[in-house]
Amino acid sequence: MNICNTCGLPKELCVCESIAKESQQITIMLVKKKFGKKNTVVEGIDTKQIDLKDLTKKLKNMLACGGTFKDGKVELQGEHISKVREELIKLGFPPETIQVK
């Protein structure tokens, strides 16, 4: 069985991640890359509370694009600002925690 390290409850009963999701201050923005391309960056996620590797994987699957994570930032290939916002909300991040630049 999978036990949460924070509260000691089985993962199915644990709400630590939902609580953590409500306390994030996420910013989504575009960054310019070489050759006029743009990537979408998601930052402000507390990596002590949220599994960034898992989140990156989910976003990449949902958007069907490439991407990486580093230093608390997720960088996705291409312009996906509104889509990323939608997907983060679907993953349980409340809309008021997400800012779009």
CB closer to Zn ion, 2 vs 71: 2
CB of 36 to Zn ion, least distance (A): 44
Q: Which residues contribute to the site for Zn ion (CB under 5 A)?
A: 4, 6-7, 14, 16
Q: Which is nearer to Zn ion, 12 or 96 (CB)?
A: 12
Q: In the chain, at which residue ranges do the beta strands (DSSP E only) sit?
A: 26-32, 38-43, 67-70, 73-77, 98-100
**Which is closer to Zn ion, CB of 17 or CB of 75?**
17
